[in-house]
Amino acid sequence: MKLSILSTVSALALATAAPAFAAPGSNSSTVNQSGTNAVATVTQAGEHDESLATQSSNNNRATVSQTGIVGNKSTVTQSGSDNVAEVTQKDDGSTALGSVRPLNTSVIAQGGNSNTAKLVQDTETAQVNSNSTIIQDGSRNTGDVIQRDDWQNSTIVQFSSDNSAVVRQGVDQTGGDTSFGNTSGATQDGAGGHTLAVTQSGLRNFSSAYQAGASNDAIVTQLGTQGSSTVDQRGNDNEALLTQNGSGSGSTILQGGNLNLATVDQNGNVLGSFVDQSGIDNRATVLQTGSNNSSSLSQGGSKNVGKVTQSGSGNASNASQTGVDSDVIVAQSGTASTSTINQSSSDAGAFVDQSGDRNASTIVQSAGAGAGYWDTGTGETYTTAYAEVDQHGNDLSSSVSQTGLSNLATISQIGSNNGSAVEQTGNATYAFVEQAGSGQRSILRQSGTLTNFNNVQSGVHQSGADNTSEVNQGGNFSFPGDLNTDNVVNVVQSGLTNASLINQGGTDNRSMLTQGGNNNSSNILQGGSDNDVFVNQNGNGNGSFVTQSGSTNLTTVNQNSASNVSAVIQSGTGNTAAVTQGM
């Protein structure tokens, strides 16, 4: 297949070269060399110049230089190893005639190993289009393309191993066109250490790179308006770095294999980024600034780390990790940000920081035994899935769902009319919700064998007015050692017209409620035995309602000031209730 490609290129070159002899004012050159250490030099200046150079065997060199306003064509075919091909095409800087759209076209096809191809297209006229193709069959080949202004187009195809390709477009342009429609396509196939670097500067950028094999490296830099880039790497030890600057950005990096690293940096306007990694020891970092940002990060394997930073208006981030020792950090700043994280791993961690109004965060975690655990001292280990959400603004929402063995979640919301929902299921869970402002809503549901770590209290702290808190805990203490503790919830509310609901089921539960201000209400429900309730209300017009069913339960209510209401209902044996009002 590879030899047939070279034959096709040669046949095409011969077919297109023949008519050039009849074209008035044009030059045509054909060089055919067989043997080693051959040298071919072609220099053409004119209109519609065509050059065909064919060299067979090894250690050959072909140099082609074409200048002229109306498009030139060059084809170099080399078979063998250690060959060098250099083609330079340049217009003379004058104005194109009439409506003619000149086209500079160059094709270099090399077969064998350790070949070098360099192609330079330099355009000073705004109307000239460039087209470049390099095809290399074999190993340890090098392809280098430089296109300066105007309609650049480049394709590099490399087969086999240890090849390198460099494409530079729209740089050092000498005319007044400020670079233009860049396009670059590169394909590297085979096993071995491939390298690829693409730099595009100008308006309509597009780059696509494909690498297969081991030890791949890709660097793509786009500066300009409508850049779009796709990097696909398959194999081992892959690395891709992509930088975009300008308005219509887009980026896709797909990596398969081991030890992958992907870094995407975007700056300006419509940005978007998608990174997909599968393998071992993956790391991905996406940084976006500007408007209309969107990022999706998916990692599979072990030891994954993901980081997404967005700044600007309509931000969105979606991250999903599967594997061991995963981390996700998402920071969003601006308007209408939203973040969704889905992790299924042991020792998973997720961090979300949002600033602005109407932001939403959703975290779903499932963790099993693994690194990062709480040791009971009895040979039992409990993996900790950790979720942290920090939100600043109004009309915010946060949702955290955790299943597994040991789960921790902390929520911090500052602003008004914010909502937080935490649902945890596991053997040991902890959640803390802190809300500052008015009109806050918090829902905390915990179920499992026990709901707290040692000396750690799940709790809700709210400051402001018209806040509501609901806590539901279910589970029984049954483990000795460091986790030998009751299910404990601590709710603190300060302000006016706040409401709290606590519902606990099982044994050895404890509820602690503190409310400061006026017209606050508390409702605590406990079912089981050996449960404790402590209520402290400071202010006027507060109400406390406690219902306990079971045996050996304790309720203590302290209400200071006046016009407070307390009701305690206990059913069972050995229960105790103490109510103090107005002191």
pLDDT tens string 218-233: 999 888 788 899 899 8
Checking if the pLDDT of 235 tops 70, the result is yes
Checking if the pLDDT of 39 tops 50, the result is yes
Checking if the pLDDT of 124 tops 80, the result is no
Please enumerate in sequence order all residues whose Cβ is within 8 A of that of 24, keeping only pairs 6 or more positions apart, or say none: none
Give the pLDDT of residue 479. 37
Residue 165 CA to residue 329 CA, distance in Å, equals 34
Give the pLDDT of residue 455. 43
Mean pLDDT across 477-484: 35
Confidence of residue 30 (pLDDT cuts 50, 70, 90): very high
Checking if the pLDDT of 484 tops 50, the result is no
Checking if the pLDDT of 381 tops 50, the result is no
In tens, the pLDDT along 285-303 reads: 999 998 899 999 999 888 8
- 162, 193 contact by CB (below 8 A): yes
- Residue of 381 and 503 predicted with greater confidence: 503
Residue in 333, 253, 325 with CA at minimum distance from that of residue 290:
333
**How big is the CA angle at 318 (ends 315 and 319), to the nearest 5 degrees?**
135
Residue 427 Ramachandran class (φ > 0 left, ψ -120 to 50 alpha, else beta): alpha
Checking if the pLDDT of 567 tops 50, the result is yes
Diameter over CA atoms, the chain: 114
Percent of the chain at pLDDT > 70 equals 83
Give the pLDDT of residue 60. 94
Give the pLDDT of residue 301. 83
Give the pLDDT of residue 546. 96
Residue in 236, 235, 301, 290 with CA at minimum distance from that of residue 265:
290
Checking if the pLDDT of 477 tops 60, the result is no
**Is the entire prediction scored with pTM above 0.85?**
no
Range of weakest confidence among 33-47, 166-180, 312-326, 433-447: 166-180
Give the pLDDT of residue 23. 52
Please report, as a single letter, which amino acid is at residue 339. S
Checking if the pLDDT of 71 tops 80, the result is no
Give the pLDDT of residue 227. 83
Q: What's the Cα-to-Cα distance from 546 to each of 25, 208, 451, 497, 560, rounded to whole Å?
A: 102, 66, 21, 19, 17
Q: What's the Cα-to-Cα distance from 279 to each of 68, 189, 248, 364, rounded to whole Å?
A: 52, 20, 31, 22
Confidence of residue 27 (pLDDT cuts 50, 70, 90): confident
In tens, the pLDDT along 536-560 reads: 999 888 999 999 998 999 999 999 8
Q: Is 22 helix (H, G, I), strand (E, B) or coil?
A: helix
Checking if the pLDDT of 573 tops 70, the result is yes
Residue in 560, 553, 491, 486 with CA at minimum distance from that of residue 522:
491
Give the pLDDT of residue 369. 46
- 559, 568 contact by CB (below 8 A): no
Average pLDDT, the chain: 82
Mean pLDDT across 309-331: 87
Give the pLDDT of residue 480. 34
